[in-house]
Structures are given as C-alpha cells and as structure tokens.
C-alpha cells in the first residue's frame, strides 16, 4: 500500500486517453502551485471505452457508442480552447485508437504497491507519453519503460499486466466509480463535493477551500 505524503487528498477519477483529464490535471497543477501544502491525488480509474469493450477486455471499434464525427470535432475544439486557456501544448487532440486499460492496470498496481511519489511520477509519465509524445500507452514495452524510469521493477510491471486478479480489481474500480455517480471524467471530488470536467484552477480552489 502506498504511503500518504500529505494530510489532505483530492480524489480524481480519470482515464489516460481522455484529453480533458490531461488538461484537468494541468489545471490542478496550476492550482497546486499556489497552495502552501500540496494535495495528494487519490486517483481512481475510469473506463471511457467501456461501451466498446468485449468480455475478453479487448475493444471492438465497430460498436456504435453514439460518438460520431460531429462529437469528436466538438471535442477537438474544446481541447484546443483549453490548451490555449491553460497554455499547454499537446501532440494529439483526441486518442481514439489507444487502449488505456493496460496503463490503468499498471498504474493501479504501482499505486497499491509503491510509494506515492513513485506512482505520481509514473502517472505523469503516462499522460505525457500519450499527449506530449503521441506514444501508445497500451503497449507493454512502453509501459515497462515508463515504469522503470519511475523506479518500478520491469518484471513487476509485466507481472501486473498478466495478473487476471488485478484486472478484476480494475473492473471493480470502474463499477465503483459508476456507483458513486461518476458519469464522465475528469471528476474531482473533495469533502463530499465534486466538479466535473477540466475546470479552471479557480474552480478547484472553490471546491477545496470554499472560496
């Protein structure tokens, strides 16, 4: 179990393939930069591909999830608007062909088994690998590289990817998020209150500090 590095935590539901999750984390970083004490991120995984995911865990891209070209064009415009607002450069606007499940499995394992700073380093590396470098975070070799650079043993990463019970735990985390009423990501939660979307730093400040 990871060690707690601060007394305060903000819960964040997110999926690595969600561009708004990446931008939301940048907003959180900007808010944190003005805080005297950093909030620890209590990350909870969420599966944006759930409607397309088959019983074996693979994604069937032929399944209609109601997201057409118009939806993705609007999403891209939203991403670009927030990029400008938060002064963030991104290699991609949307990542429709990347499966984040392997990354979420490894991240969950690191979060449970390593210290907080190791998990946070890996978590940031996964986001940056996809959105800054356009890398496939569903690829085992990419995940091993990112994790080992964060200080995680390579064999432990490959074992996590092959661990069926760990995947069951991840799917239970997805179900738990739905039971908590999470219907989209990113969702930030603090002290019984929540904010959904890549909200600006001042809104996160109001969520946490009530100001």
Domain annotation covers residue 2: no
Confidence of residue 102 (pLDDT cuts 50, 70, 90): very high
Nearest residue to 145 via CA among 157, 163, 128, 159: 157
Task: Say if residue 5's pLDDT is above 80.
Answer: no
pLDDT in tens, 111-153: 999 999 999 999 999 999 999 999 999 999 999 999 999 999 9
Domain annotation covers residue 3: no
- Determine how many CB atoms are found less than 10 A away from the CB of residue 147: 27
Q: What is the CATH classification number for the domain harbouring 120?
A: 3.40.30.10
Q: Which of 51-60, 68-77, 180-189 has the lowest mean pLDDT?
A: 51-60
Enclosing domain of residue 38: 9-209
Predicted TM-score (pTM) of the model is 0.93
Q: Say what the pLDDT of residue 62 is.
A: 83
pLDDT in tens, 65-91: 888 899 899 999 999 999 999 999 999
Domain annotation covers residue 52: yes
Domain count, the chain: 1
Domain annotation covers residue 152: yes
pLDDT in tens, 168-178: 999 999 999 99
Domain annotation covers residue 80: yes
Domain annotation covers residue 81: yes
Q: Which of 4-18, 35-49, 187-201 has the lowest mean pLDDT?
A: 4-18
Domain annotation covers residue 99: yes
Domain annotation covers residue 64: yes
């Amino acid at each position: 179990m990871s060690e707690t590095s601060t007394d305060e935590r903000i819960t964040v539901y997110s999926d690595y393939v969600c561009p708004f999750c990446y931008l939301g984390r940048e907003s959180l970083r900007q808010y944190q930069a003005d805080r005297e004490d950093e909030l620890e991120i209590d990350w909870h995984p969420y599966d944006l591909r759930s409607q397309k995911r088959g019983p074996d865990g693979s994604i069937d891209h032929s399944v209609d999830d109601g997201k057409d070209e118009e939806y993705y064009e609007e999403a891209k415009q939203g991403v670009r608007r927030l990029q400008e607002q938060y002064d963030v450069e991104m290699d991609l606007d949307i990542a429709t062909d990347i499966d984040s499940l392997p990354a979420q499995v490894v991240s969950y394992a690191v979060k449970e088994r390593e210290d907080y700073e190791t998990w946070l380093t890996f978590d940031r590396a996964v986001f940056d690998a996809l959105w800054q470098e356009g890398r496939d975070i569903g690829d085992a070799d990419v995940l091993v590289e990112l994790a080992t650079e964060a200080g995680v043993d390579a064999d432990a990463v490959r074992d996590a990817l092959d661990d069926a019970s760990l995947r069951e735990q991840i799917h239970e985390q997805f179900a738990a998020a739905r039971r908590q009423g999470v219907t989209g990501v990113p969702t930030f939660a603090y002290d019984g209150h929540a904010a959904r979307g890549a909200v600006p730093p001042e809104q996160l400040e109001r969520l946490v500090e009530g100001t």
